Amino acid sequence: MKKIFLLLLLILPIQAIAQYWISREDTYFFVSTGLDLRNATFGGTVNPAAYDGTWTAGYRNENFGIHAYYETFSAIRYESAGVNPEYIFRPGKMLIPVADISLSFIRRPWKVYPSLAMNVRMEYHFSRFFVYVRGESRWRTDYDFFQFSVYGGVSFKFGFPK
Protein backbone atom coordinates (compact mmCIF):
# COMPACT_ATOMS: atom_id res chain seq x y z
CA MET A 1 0.00 0.00 0.00
CA LYS A 2 2.86 2.37 0.80
CA LYS A 3 4.35 1.80 -2.66
CA ILE A 4 1.08 2.73 -4.38
CA PHE A 5 0.77 5.84 -2.24
CA LEU A 6 4.35 6.89 -3.05
CA LEU A 7 3.76 6.24 -6.74
CA LEU A 8 0.64 8.44 -6.70
CA LEU A 9 2.59 11.18 -4.91
CA LEU A 10 5.14 11.13 -7.73
CA ILE A 11 2.69 10.84 -10.64
CA LEU A 12 0.18 13.55 -9.66
CA PRO A 13 2.61 16.53 -9.66
CA ILE A 14 4.23 15.35 -12.91
CA GLN A 15 0.79 14.99 -14.52
CA ALA A 16 -0.27 18.46 -13.33
CA ILE A 17 2.88 20.09 -14.71
CA ALA A 18 2.57 18.23 -18.01
CA GLN A 19 -1.11 19.21 -18.31
CA TYR A 20 -0.19 22.88 -17.77
CA TRP A 21 2.52 22.76 -20.45
CA ILE A 22 0.36 20.93 -22.96
CA SER A 23 -2.66 23.19 -22.37
CA ARG A 24 -0.76 26.32 -23.42
CA GLU A 25 -1.34 27.51 -26.98
CA ASP A 26 2.36 28.34 -27.40
CA THR A 27 3.32 24.72 -26.67
CA TYR A 28 3.08 22.42 -29.67
CA PHE A 29 4.80 19.99 -32.00
CA PHE A 30 5.32 20.85 -35.65
CA VAL A 31 6.44 19.39 -38.95
CA SER A 32 7.78 21.53 -41.78
CA THR A 33 8.85 21.42 -45.36
CA GLY A 34 10.75 24.11 -47.21
CA LEU A 35 13.24 24.89 -49.92
CA ASP A 36 16.22 27.10 -50.67
CA LEU A 37 14.62 30.01 -52.52
CA ARG A 38 17.76 31.14 -54.36
CA ASN A 39 18.67 27.66 -55.58
CA ALA A 40 15.10 27.04 -56.70
CA THR A 41 14.87 30.27 -58.74
CA PHE A 42 18.36 31.38 -59.80
CA GLY A 43 20.70 28.54 -58.96
CA GLY A 44 23.70 28.57 -56.68
CA THR A 45 27.39 29.32 -56.95
CA VAL A 46 28.13 25.87 -58.44
CA ASN A 47 24.77 24.76 -59.88
CA PRO A 48 21.88 25.85 -62.10
CA ALA A 49 18.38 26.22 -60.59
CA ALA A 50 17.44 23.00 -58.79
CA TYR A 51 15.43 21.67 -55.86
CA ASP A 52 17.15 21.96 -52.45
CA GLY A 53 14.54 20.84 -49.92
CA THR A 54 14.28 20.51 -46.15
CA TRP A 55 12.11 18.39 -43.85
CA THR A 56 11.80 19.27 -40.17
CA ALA A 57 10.09 17.96 -37.01
CA GLY A 58 10.16 19.89 -33.75
CA TYR A 59 8.71 20.89 -30.40
CA ARG A 60 8.12 24.32 -28.85
CA ASN A 61 7.32 25.39 -25.32
CA GLU A 62 7.02 29.18 -24.94
CA ASN A 63 10.51 30.66 -25.58
CA PHE A 64 12.33 27.34 -26.08
CA GLY A 65 12.17 25.03 -29.05
CA ILE A 66 14.15 22.21 -30.57
CA HIS A 67 13.90 20.59 -33.96
CA ALA A 68 15.62 18.00 -36.10
CA TYR A 69 15.96 18.48 -39.85
CA TYR A 70 17.05 16.74 -43.01
CA GLU A 71 18.12 18.57 -46.18
CA THR A 72 18.62 17.01 -49.58
CA PHE A 73 20.15 18.67 -52.64
CA SER A 74 20.66 15.95 -55.23
CA ALA A 75 21.90 18.33 -57.97
CA ILE A 76 25.25 18.63 -56.15
CA ARG A 77 25.02 15.30 -54.23
CA TYR A 78 24.66 17.05 -50.86
CA GLU A 79 22.75 16.00 -47.76
CA SER A 80 22.74 17.40 -44.25
CA ALA A 81 20.96 16.55 -41.02
CA GLY A 82 21.08 18.03 -37.58
CA VAL A 83 19.48 19.25 -34.38
CA ASN A 84 18.71 22.90 -33.74
CA PRO A 85 17.97 24.34 -30.28
CA GLU A 86 16.05 27.58 -30.82
CA TYR A 87 14.93 30.69 -28.98
CA ILE A 88 11.47 32.10 -29.74
CA PHE A 89 11.33 35.85 -29.12
CA ARG A 90 7.56 36.49 -29.05
CA PRO A 91 5.71 33.23 -28.33
CA GLY A 92 1.97 33.31 -28.83
CA LYS A 93 2.03 36.23 -31.31
CA MET A 94 1.26 36.12 -35.03
CA LEU A 95 4.64 37.45 -36.22
CA ILE A 96 7.43 35.60 -34.41
CA PRO A 97 11.21 36.01 -34.81
CA VAL A 98 13.27 32.89 -34.00
CA ALA A 99 17.02 32.34 -33.71
CA ASP A 100 18.76 28.97 -33.58
CA ILE A 101 22.08 27.18 -33.86
CA SER A 102 22.35 24.14 -36.13
CA LEU A 103 24.56 21.31 -34.90
CA SER A 104 24.74 19.11 -37.94
CA PHE A 105 26.55 16.86 -40.37
CA ILE A 106 27.08 17.27 -44.10
CA ARG A 107 27.17 14.07 -46.12
CA ARG A 108 28.91 14.03 -49.47
CA PRO A 109 29.60 10.93 -51.59
CA TRP A 110 33.21 10.88 -50.43
CA LYS A 111 32.93 11.76 -46.70
CA VAL A 112 30.78 12.98 -43.77
CA TYR A 113 31.68 16.35 -42.21
CA PRO A 114 30.54 18.10 -39.02
CA SER A 115 28.95 21.48 -39.60
CA LEU A 116 27.67 24.50 -37.71
CA ALA A 117 25.15 27.16 -38.76
CA MET A 118 23.39 30.20 -37.35
CA ASN A 119 19.78 30.72 -38.43
CA VAL A 120 17.30 33.56 -38.04
CA ARG A 121 13.71 33.02 -39.03
CA MET A 122 10.61 35.16 -39.32
CA GLU A 123 7.35 33.24 -38.95
CA TYR A 124 3.76 34.29 -39.56
CA HIS A 125 1.36 32.11 -37.53
CA PHE A 126 -2.19 31.03 -38.26
CA SER A 127 -4.17 28.75 -35.94
CA ARG A 128 -2.92 25.37 -37.26
CA PHE A 129 0.11 26.30 -39.37
CA PHE A 130 2.72 28.98 -40.03
CA VAL A 131 4.82 30.14 -42.96
CA TYR A 132 8.44 31.18 -42.58
CA VAL A 133 11.45 32.76 -44.22
CA ARG A 134 14.83 31.68 -42.83
CA GLY A 135 18.31 33.08 -43.34
CA GLU A 136 21.17 30.67 -42.73
CA SER A 137 24.91 31.21 -42.43
CA ARG A 138 26.52 27.76 -42.57
CA TRP A 139 30.14 26.80 -42.16
CA ARG A 140 30.52 24.42 -45.10
CA THR A 141 33.23 22.15 -43.77
CA ASP A 142 33.13 20.05 -46.95
CA TYR A 143 34.64 23.05 -48.81
CA ASP A 144 35.84 25.15 -45.82
CA PHE A 145 33.88 28.37 -46.41
CA PHE A 146 30.77 30.14 -45.09
CA GLN A 147 27.61 29.90 -47.21
CA PHE A 148 24.60 32.18 -46.83
CA SER A 149 21.20 30.78 -47.91
CA VAL A 150 17.57 31.89 -47.72
CA TYR A 151 14.84 29.28 -47.24
CA GLY A 152 11.06 29.52 -47.23
CA GLY A 153 8.45 27.02 -46.18
CA VAL A 154 5.34 26.00 -44.31
CA SER A 155 4.94 24.29 -40.92
CA PHE A 156 1.96 22.44 -39.51
CA LYS A 157 1.26 22.56 -35.75
CA PHE A 158 -0.33 19.77 -33.73
CA GLY A 159 -0.65 18.57 -30.16
CA PHE A 160 -2.26 21.62 -28.56
CA PRO A 161 -5.83 22.32 -27.38
CA LYS A 162 -8.49 22.96 -29.97
Query: Residue 13 above 60 pLDDT?
Result: no
pLDDT confidence band for 151 (50 / 70 / 90): very high
The answer to whether 44 and 147 are in contact (CB under 8 A) is no
Query: Residue 9 above 80 pLDDT?
Result: no
The answer to whether 22 and 15 are in contact (CB under 8 A) is no
Q: pLDDT digit string (tens) for 21-67?
A: 444 568 999 999 999 999 999 988 778 999 999 999 999 999 999 99
pLDDT for 161 equals: 54
Distance between CA atoms of residues 11 and 7, nearest Å:
6
* Bridging pattern class, strands 95-108 and 129-140: unpaired
Q: pLDDT digit string (tens) for 85-144?
A: 999 999 999 999 999 999 999 999 999 999 999 999 999 999 999 999 999 999 988 888
Domain ranges of the chain: 2-158
CATH T-level topology, domain 2-158: Porin (2.40.160)
Which has more pLDDT, 5 or 69? 69
pLDDT for 3 equals: 53
Most confident of 7-11, 99-103, 157-161: 99-103
What average pLDDT does the segment 12-23 reach? 49
pLDDT for 140 equals: 87
The answer to whether 139 and 1 are in contact (CB under 8 A) is no
